Structure 1
Amino acid sequence: MKRSRILAIALLAFCWMSGEAQQKISIREKNIEPERLFQTIEQQSGYMIYCNLAEMDSLLLSVDMTESSPEEILKKAFEATDYKVSSYGDKYLFVLKDRELITELSEDYFDRRKTYSTTSDNYLLSPLEQKATSENKLYTIGDERSTDVPEKIQLTGIMTDFRTGEPIIGAVIYTEKTLIAATTDAFGFYSLQLPPGHHRLLIRGIGLKDTQRQVAIYNNGKLDIELEEEVYSLKEVIVTSERLARVQSTKLGVERIQIKDIKNIPTAFGEVDVIKVVMMLPGVKAVGEASSGFNVRGGSTDQNLILFNDGTIYNPTHLFGFFSAFNPDLVKEIELYKSSIPAKYGGRISSVLEINGREGNKKELTGQVSLGLLTSRATIEGPIGKKTSFILGGRTTYSDWILKKLPEKSGYNNGRAGFYDLNAIIDHKFSENDNLYLSGYYSHDRFNFDEDERYGYGNMNFSAKWRHIYNDKLTSTLTGGYDHYSYETETNETPTNAYRLDFGINQGFLKMDFTSYLTEKHTLDYGLSGILYVLNPGKYGPNADESLVILDKMQEEHALETAIYLADRWSITPEFSLDLGVRYSMFNAMGPRTYNLYDPTKLPDMSSIVDTKTVDGWKGFKTYHAPEFRLSARYAFRSDFSVKLGANTLQQYIHKLSNTTIMSPTDTWKLSDENIRPQKGLQVAAGIYKNFSDNTIETSIEGYYKTMKDYLDYRSGAQLIMNHHIETDVMSTEGKAYGVELMIKKTQGKLNGWISYAFSRTLLRQNDSRVEKPINNGDWYPADYDKPHEFKFAGNYKFTQRYSVSLNCDYSTGRPITLPTSKYQYAGGEFAYYSDRNQYRIPDFFRMDLAINIEPSHHLTLLTHSTISLGVYNLTGRKNAYSVYYVAENGKLKGYKMAIFGSPIPYISYNIKF
C-alpha cells in the first residue's frame, strides 16, 4: 500500500511537471510589435491574450527568454512600460494599462453593509475605485431595513469617458430581466426608474466596452459610471456600434455617425468632410460633386436645419462647396433626422442635421496637427483647474498655389481661393447638478478667379448652455446664442462701374428645455423657444470714388418666431412604445416695413397692386401660426426585430432664393410676410428592422410618403437679387416625394461599413388657377434633384491595428435637365424650342474612392503619435457630368458636358497627435 501511494504521488508529480513543461516556451525578438508578440505566444502556448491593441500602437517590445512561461515572457517584455500582466485560470492572460486584473475578492467583499452601503442619495465611484471594482460586486443604495422604501425608485447618473472625462452620448443602460431602459442624453445623463431590490444593469456605449453593474437599491440615488474603450481578444478586431439601439428605439429615419467612422471615408484631396459622409447615407442626395448642399427625402437644400452646438449654419460649405465648413477634429458625432424629428426642433420641413462638438479633455493637455494637400488644421485641448476644460481648433487653406500652376491662357492663374475657420468650446462644472457650456464658431471664405471680381462669405455662431439637474426626475437646459451669415461681392473691373453687393442674416435665439422622468413608462420633454430675425436682403453701392453706381438698399426684414412643445415617450409594454408630441409655432413679421397688397384674383404684379401699407417700429403686421404633430410607434417582436411607424407635420417660415440646383454663397434668404406664405410639410414613414449574427449585422427597410405646400418656384426671367418686390417673381408650388430605402450595416469584425439602395421620386406641380401658363401645363414634373435610383457602399477593412483600407462606391441616376429640342425663325431671329421642364436627364453618376490608412510605429519614449492616409478620389477617372450646356458653333448648336473631377485625384494627408 505504501509503495502504491508513493507511486501515485510520483505519477501526479510527473503529470504536473509535464503540464508545466508544456507551458514553457522560448522567444527571442527585438523591436517587435505587441500584436506579433501576442500571436507568437498564442501559437506556441495555446494561451488566449486579452488586451487593447489600440492603446499599444506606438509600442515596440524586445524580449530574449528561453524555457519560460507566457506570463513571465510578457512581464519581461512590458517591464519598462506602464502595462501590467495578469493571469486568470490556466489559459488566459490580460495586459492592461496602469493596473492589474483583480481575480480574487477581498476578504470583506461580502460585508456589503459595511463597505458598500449608503443611506444617502448619492453613490459615486472615484475613477480608481471604479477601475478596480469587479462588475459583479453589489452596490447598495439606501437601507434595506428602512420602513419607508418607495415602490418606484429613481436611479440617475452621468456616464463619462474614462480617458478624457467627456460625457458619453447615446449609451444605453437597462435591466436584464424587465428590459427597463434609459439612454444618456447630450450631457451623459441618464435616469432609470426601478422597483426596489436587486438588479443587474447592463451598459452599452458606442465604441466602448460593454459592462454591467449589480445594484441593490432602496432609495433614490445616483450612480456615475466611467466607461472604457473596448478590450478585446487578439482573435477579433471589434468595431462597436449602437447594436440594438436602432431596433429598440422608437424613432425611425434617424442616422447617427461617430467621427471615427467619418474619418475612415475617403473624400476629395483627403479632407475629412462631415457633409460628404452624410451624403453617403440612404435618402440623402446631392445634385453633383463639389456641392455641400444636400437634399433629404425629396426636400430642397433650404429645408434642412443644420445645427452646430445649437447654432444654425446657413451655409455649411467652404470654397463654393468643395469642402464642408466643419473642422472634423472638433466634431464628436452627427445625428441626422430624416423622419421622427423631435418636437423641440422646428423651422424646417425636411430634416435636422445635429452636429455635436467635442468637449475638451478633462484629464490632460493634448493636441493634434493635420497636414493635407490643400488644408491644415490644429487642435489643442485640456483641463483648466479641476472643473473646467477647453478645446480650441483652427483650419486654413493654402490652395492659391494650385491656381498659380494653371496655364496663363486659362485666365485663372491670377486667381485666389482660400478659407479659414476657428472653434472654441469651454465647459465648466459648477456642481454635481450644474454645468455651463460655451461654444464659438467663425468661418470666412474669399474667392476670385481674376483681380477684378471678388467674393467673400462666412458664418459666425456663439451659444451658451446651462444644464441643471433639479432632482432625480427633472432636468433642464437653458440655451441662448447668436447666429450670423453674410456674403459680399465686389468688382473693380472699371472704376466707373465698380460696385459692392452685401447680404446678411442675423438671429438671436433663446430656448428652455425640460425633461421629466415621471414613471418607468412616461418621460416628458417640454419647453419653449424664440428666434429674433434681422435680415438684410441686399445693399448695392459704389466700390470706388470714381464709381457711378447709385446706392440701393433694400428694406430690412424683422420677425419673431416662437414655439412651445410637449412630447411623451411612452413605454406601454416592453414590446410596444409610442413617442407622441405636439409643437405649436407662431411667426410674426414685424416692421418697420412698407409692403404692397395685390388683387387676390391675380398673381402679384406691379399692375395688380391695390394698396400699400407702412408699418412703423417693431410692430407686427402679419402672423402665421399652426400646430405641428409628431408620432412614432414601435413594436418589437424580439430584441433584434421590430417594426415602426411615424408621422410628422412641420412649418418653415424662412425661404432660400436661388435659381441654381446647388447651394451657392450668393443665395439669399427671405422671411415669410404678407405675400410669401410659410412652407408646410407632411411625412408618413414606416420601417422594418432586423439584426443578425448576434447583432453584428443590422438591416432595415424604410418607406415614406411626403407632401410639400407653398414651396417657392420662380417665373421666367426672375430677378432674385436686389428685387424690392420679390413676390412678383416667385410662385407657390406643391410637391410630393416617396421612396424606399434599404440598408445593411456591419458593425463588428475586420470588415465593417454599410451598403444601401434607395428608390425615390420627387415631383413638383403648379396648380395655382391664377397662372395662365403653368409649367408643363400644370402636370407633375421632376424636381432638379430627382434621382430615382441610388446605390452606395462605404466599407473599411482593418488588416491590423495599424493598417486598414477604405472603399466608397456611389451610383445614382442622372439628375433631370431641360433641353432644346428644335429651333425656329421669328422676326429675323433664331430661337430655340425647349422640352417640358426636366424631361431629360444627364448621364448617370458613378464614383469609386480608395484610401489606405497607416499608423506608423513609434518608440515608447516618443510623445507623439502620427497617422498617414493615402488615397485616390475618383479611382476610375470617370468624367461625371455636372451639367450639360450648348454653344452655337458654325451655325449649329453643340452640346458639351462639364465634369468637376474628370480624372483620378491622388492625395496624402498626415496627422500627428501629442
Structure 2
Amino acid sequence: MKKILLLALFLLGQSAWAQTVTPGKREVVGRDIGQLKGIKIQGRIIDEITGEGLVGATVSVPELDVTRVTDTNGSFDLVLSRAEYNLQFRYVGYELIDYPITAVGDGRLTIRMIQEDFQLDDVVIFGRDPEKNIRSTDMGAVTLSMNTIKELPPFLGEVDIVRSLATLPGVSQVGEASSGLNVRGGGVDQNLIQFGGAPIYNPSHMFGLFTAFNADMVNDVTLYKAAVPSRFGGRSSAILDILPKAGGVDHWGGDLSVSNYSGKISLNGPLVKDKVSILGGFRISYINWFLKAMSNETLRNSNANFYDGNIIISAPVSENNEFTYSYYTSYDDFAFSSDTTISWKNTAHSLQWKSKLSEKLSLDVLGYYTVYDYGIFNESGINDFRINSDIKDLGGRVNLFYDFSPTSKFSFGGMFKQVGIQPGELIPEGEEDILPQKVQDELGRELAAHFQHEFELGEKFGFSYGLRYDVYQYLGPRTVRDYEENEPISDGSAISETVYSDGEVIQTYNGLGPRASVRYSFNKSSSIKLGYNKMYQFIHLISNTATIAPSDVWKLSDQFLAPQIADQYSLGFFKNFKGNIFETSLEVYYKDLQNVVEYKDGANLILQNDIETELVPAEGQAYGLELYVKKNLGRITGWVSYTYSRSLRRVITSFEEENINDGEWYASNFDKPHDLTLIGNYKISTNTSVSATFAYSTGRPVTLPAAKFDYSGNTLAYFADRNQGRLPDFHRLDMSLNFKFAGEGKFFDGNWTFSLLNVYGRKNPFSVYFDHSEGSPPQSFRLALLGVPLPSLSYAIKF
C-alpha cells in the first residue's frame, strides 16, 4: 500500500511539474502544498512550428513589475508568491501571449509562440525586452532580428546583414564595395565574425558587393563593440555572432527568392518527426548580365560568379538537451578582363551541445573546423601562373552558466584553437620562365580560460565583471632569420638562421584581459553605464588596401610581430520615452591600441618569406561620440545614428628611416570623422510599406603624390606623407517599396520588393588613381562603382 501511495504521489507531482500553456483559461501551476512565498516557476519558450527555443524572449509579470529574459536554451525562471498573475510573453516577430495563471506551488511551463500574422493591424509587439537597453549591464551590444533587417532597402535585391550593421553608430565601411566592418576605429581583421560558432575569415561576395551570408539561414545577429563578454576573445575590436535558424520538426516547408541579380532557395522539415529537423539553403548569382551592360570595357569583358550554401541539423533530444550541426560554404571567382581570375572559398563545420544540467546549471559545448582558401590565377597566355593560400582553423569551447538567483548569474569556461596558415605558393602553369616559390607555412595555438559574474544590487545598480587569460604559442617547423642588433630588420641586416622542428615552441605570449561594466538606473526609463575591456589579438591582416582581398596576407604573431592589445573605455547614457516607443542613447569611448601592424613605405607584401622586413609596429588610438535615436512602434519606424570619431596611427621606432610621417599621428585608412545614417520605414497598409536609407560620411584618407620624377627613363610618382589627403565626402540615398498581392493560395501571392539604390546618381569614389600627363603633375581620376541609380526587383514566397 505504501509503494502504491508513493507511486501515486510521484505521478501527481510529474503532472503538476510539466504543463503547456493553452490560451483561453487560467492555468493552475503546481499543486497546493501550503506554499505562500518562494514558489519557483520554470519554463521554456519555443517556436510553435520548429520547437526551437527562443533566445532573448521576455516574460513579464505586471503585478510584480518583473521581467525576465530567456537564456540560450529559451528557458526562464520566476519566483512568485501564492496568487493570481497575468504573464506576458513577447518575442520579436511573434504574437504576444497574455496569459493568466494561478500559482499554488512549484511547476514548469512550456510556452509555444506563433509567428505574427502581419495582416493583423491591431497586434502590437515589442522586439525582445523593450527595456533591455536600460536595465542590462551590456555596453555596445546590439542584437538585430531578421525582421528588423528585412525592413531596410535591399542591396542589389538582397537583404544584407553586414551592411545593416553599418547603419548603427560606431560601425562603418570604407566604401560601396567593401567587405567587413570598421568598428570604433578598428580594422576589418580586428573583428571576429562567426557563424554558428565557427569563424569566417572573408564575409563577402564580389569584394563586398554582397554579404556572404544567406539571410534565410540566419535567426539573428549580435554585435559586441564595447564591454565584450569574457567568453569571447582573439580579436581586439568587436565580435559579430551570427546564430543560424533551425528547421521545422513537424512538417516540411521552404522559401524561394529571386531577383535580377541572384536567386536562393531553402527547404526545412523533420528528419525524425518531432525530434530532429534539417534546414538547407542555397544561393547563386547570375550577375554577369549586369557586367555586360557596363560602359567600362574592362568590366564588360569580366566575369563574376558566387554561391553559398548551408545545412543546419537540430536535434532537441530532450527538453534539457539539444544538439546542433551547422555547415556553411561560400565560393567566389572574379575574372578581371578575362585574363586574371581571383577566387576565395569559405568552408565551416560546427557541432554544438546545449544542456540544462540542473535548475541552476547549464552547459554549452562547441567544436568547429574552418577553412579559408584564396588565390590569384593568371590565364593571359603569357607567363601563366597561380598563387594559392589558405587558413585552417580548428577549435572548441566549453562554457558553464550558473544562476545563483534571477539577479545573480555566473559563467566560466575555456577554449582551444589551432590555426595554420599557408601564406602563398606560386605555381607556374606551362613552360614559361617563372620559377615556383612557396612561403613557409605558419602554425599557432591559442588557449584561454575565463569567467564572468553579473549581478544586481537593488533596482539601481547592476554590475558585470570578468577576466580572461589568453595563452598563445607560435610553433614550428620553421626557419627563422637572425638579424644584427641595433640595425633595422631588413634583408641587409640578416646574419644567420635558426631552424625549429615540428611542434617546437618558437614564441609564447600571454596576458590577462579584464572586462567590467556598471549600470546605475535613475528610474525605469533611464540609466548610465560605464565599461572597460582589454582584448588580445594573435592574427593580423597585412594589407595596403582598405578592404579584405585575396591578395592580402594573413600573418600570425611571432617573435618579430607581437600580438595586438586593445584597451577600451566607454561611458553611455540611455533613455527611453513614451512607454519605450522611443529609444535613445549617447555614448563616448576611447580606445588605446598597441602593436598595430603597418607596412614600410614601398613595401612588397606578396610572397614574402621574411615579411618582418616589410613591417613596422605602430600604436593607435581611437575615440568618438555616438548618438542613437530609434522609434520602435507605429506606422513610421526607423532610427537615426550619428558618430563623430577619429582613428589614428603613429609609428616611432629606434631607427629614424622607419618612422612614418616623421613620427607624427596620422589618420588610419578607415578614419571617417563624421558618419550619419537616417533609416525610415513607413507602413502604408498591411500589405505595403516603403523604406529609405540616407547615409553621409567624411571621405576616407588616401595618400596623394606630391610630385613626379624620372628614373632610368621611367616617370615615377613621389609620395611624401601617408594618408594626408581624403576622398570626397560620401553620401547616398536608397529607397525600396515592399508589397504583397492579395489572393491567398495563388503563386503571385508572395512578397515583392522594388529597390532603387543611389536614387540621385551620386558618383561616390571608391578610390582615386593617378596617371602621367606630360609637363604637369600626376593627374588624378576617380573610380566610382555605383555612379548611376541602380534598380532591382525581387520576389519571395514561402511554401
Normalising by the smaller structure, the TM-score range is over 0.9
Give 1:107's aligned residue.
none
TM superposition shift of 1:776: 1.6
Cα pair 2:249 2:270 within 8 Å, conserved: yes
Cα pair 1:193 1:519 within 8 Å, conserved: no
Give 2:341's aligned residue.
454
Give 2:22's aligned residue.
131
TM superposition shift of 1:361: 2.0
Aligned match for 1:362, one of 243, 249, 252: 249
Letter in 2 for 1:709: Q
Cα pair 1:740 1:760 within 8 Å, conserved: yes
In the alignment, the residues of structure 2 paired with residue 888 and residue 232 of structure 1 have an alpha-carbon distance, to the nearest angstrom, of 59
Aligned match for 1:477, one of 358, 364, 376: 364
In the alignment, the residues of structure 2 paired with residue 413 and residue 815 of structure 1 have an alpha-carbon distance, to the nearest angstrom, of 28
Moved more, 168-177 or 693-702: 168-177
Q: In structure 2, do the counterparts of structure 1 residues 433 and 607 end up closer, same or farther at CA, with 3 Å as the change threshold?
A: same
Cα pair 1:412 1:449 within 8 Å, conserved: yes
Q: In structure 2, do the counterparts of structure 1 residues 235 and 475 end up closer, same or farther at CA, with 3 Å as the change threshold?
A: closer
User: After the TM superposition, which residues 486-505 of structure 1 pair with which residues of structure 2 at under 5 Å, given as runs?
Assistant: 486-494=373-381, 497-505=383-391
Give 1:29's aligned residue.
none
Q: In structure 2, do the counterparts of structure 1 residues 142 and 484 end up closer, same or farther at CA, with 3 Å as the change threshold?
A: farther
TM superposition shift of 1:187: 2.8
Give 2:276's aligned residue.
388
- 1:661 has 2:581 as partner: no
Q: In structure 2, do the counterparts of structure 1 residues 707 and 786 end up closer, same or farther at CA, with 3 Å as the change threshold?
A: same
- 1:319 has 2:210 as partner: no
In the alignment, the residues of structure 1 paired with residue 70 and residue 791 of structure 2 have an alpha-carbon distance, to the nearest angstrom, of 41
- 1:533 has 2:419 as partner: yes
Taking structure 2 as the reference length, the TM-score comes to 0.94
In the alignment, the residues of structure 1 paired with residue 350 and residue 98 of structure 2 have an alpha-carbon distance, to the nearest angstrom, of 36
- 1:882 has 2:771 as partner: no
TM superposition shift of 1:769: 2.7
Identity of aligned residues (%): 34
User: After the TM superposition, which residues 858-877 of structure 1 pair with which residues of structure 2 at under 5 Å, given as runs?
Assistant: 858-859=743-744, 861-862=745-746, 865-877=749-761
Cα pair 1:118 1:141 within 8 Å, conserved: no
Letter in 2 for 1:248: R
What is the aligned residue count?
788
User: After the TM superposition, which residues 86-485 of structure 1 pair with which residues of structure 2 at under 5 Å, given as runs?
Assistant: 119-120=13-14, 123-126=17-20, 130-134=21-25, 137-141=26-30, 143-145=32-34, 154-176=40-62, 181-192=67-78, 201-212=87-98, 221-229=107-115, 238=124, 240-242=126-128, 243-384=130-271, 385-406=273-294, 410-485=297-372
Letter in 2 for 1:141: G
Aligned match for 1:523, one of 409, 426, 447: 409
Q: In structure 2, do the counterparts of structure 1 residues 602 and 153 end up closer, same or farther at CA, with 3 Å as the change threshold?
A: farther
Cα pair 1:822 1:832 within 8 Å, conserved: yes
Moved more, 590-599 or 233-242: 233-242
Cα pair 2:600 2:658 within 8 Å, conserved: no
Q: In structure 2, do the counterparts of structure 1 residues 562 and 178 end up closer, same or farther at CA, with 3 Å as the change threshold?
A: farther
User: After the TM superposition, which residues 574-653 of structure 1 pair with which residues of structure 2 at under 5 Å, given as runs?
Assistant: 574-599=459-484, 601-609=486-494, 611-653=496-538
- Partner SS state of residue 609, structure 2: coil
- Partner SS state of residue 156, structure 2: helix
In the alignment, the residues of structure 1 paired with residue 104 and residue 360 of structure 2 have an alpha-carbon distance, to the nearest angstrom, of 16
In the alignment, the residues of structure 2 paired with residue 580 and residue 498 of structure 1 have an alpha-carbon distance, to the nearest angstrom, of 56
Q: In structure 2, do the counterparts of structure 1 residues 178 and 680 end up closer, same or farther at CA, with 3 Å as the change threshold?
A: farther
Letter in 2 for 1:784: N
In the alignment, the residues of structure 2 paired with residue 619 and residue 864 of structure 1 have an alpha-carbon distance, to the nearest angstrom, of 63
In the alignment, the residues of structure 2 paired with residue 193 and residue 389 of structure 1 have an alpha-carbon distance, to the nearest angstrom, of 34
Q: In structure 2, do the counterparts of structure 1 residues 548 and 189 end up closer, same or farther at CA, with 3 Å as the change threshold?
A: farther
User: After the TM superposition, which residues 742-781 of structure 1 pair with which residues of structure 2 at under 5 Å, given as runs?
Assistant: 742-781=627-666
In the alignment, the residues of structure 2 paired with residue 284 and residue 341 of structure 1 have an alpha-carbon distance, to the nearest angstrom, of 15
Letter in 1 for 2:18: L
Give 1:23's aligned residue.
none
In the alignment, the residues of structure 2 paired with residue 424 and residue 790 of structure 1 have an alpha-carbon distance, to the nearest angstrom, of 37
Q: In structure 2, do the counterparts of structure 1 residues 199 and 647 end up closer, same or farther at CA, with 3 Å as the change threshold?
A: farther
Cα pair 2:90 2:125 within 8 Å, conserved: no
- Partner SS state of residue 560, structure 1: strand
User: After the TM superposition, which residues 72-87 of structure 1 pair with which residues of structure 2 at under 5 Å, given as runs?
Assistant: none
Give 1:841's aligned residue.
726
In the alignment, the residues of structure 1 paired with residue 484 and residue 523 of structure 2 have an alpha-carbon distance, to the nearest angstrom, of 60
Deviation per CA, 1:504-534, whole angstroms, max 9, x where unpaired?
0001111111100123332111111101112
Cα pair 1:487 1:503 within 8 Å, conserved: yes
In the alignment, the residues of structure 2 paired with residue 804 and residue 555 of structure 1 have an alpha-carbon distance, to the nearest angstrom, of 55
- Partner SS state of residue 792, structure 2: strand
In the alignment, the residues of structure 1 paired with residue 119 and residue 733 of structure 2 have an alpha-carbon distance, to the nearest angstrom, of 33
Cα pair 1:121 1:222 within 8 Å, conserved: no
- Partner SS state of residue 772, structure 1: helix
Letter in 1 for 2:13: T
Cα pair 2:565 2:594 within 8 Å, conserved: yes
Deviation per CA, 1:119-157, whole angstroms, max 9, x where unpaired?
34973334xxx33343xx2533254237xx9x8565433
Structure 2 spans left out of the alignment, 5+ residues: 1-7
Structure 1 spans left out of the alignment, 5+ residues: 1-113
User: After the TM superposition, which residues 810-821 of structure 1 pair with which residues of structure 2 at under 5 Å, given as runs?
Assistant: 810-821=695-706
TM superposition shift of 1:173: 2.6
Give 1:709's aligned residue.
594
TM superposition shift of 1:350: 0.5
Cα pair 2:55 2:74 within 8 Å, conserved: yes
TM superposition shift of 1:717: 1.8
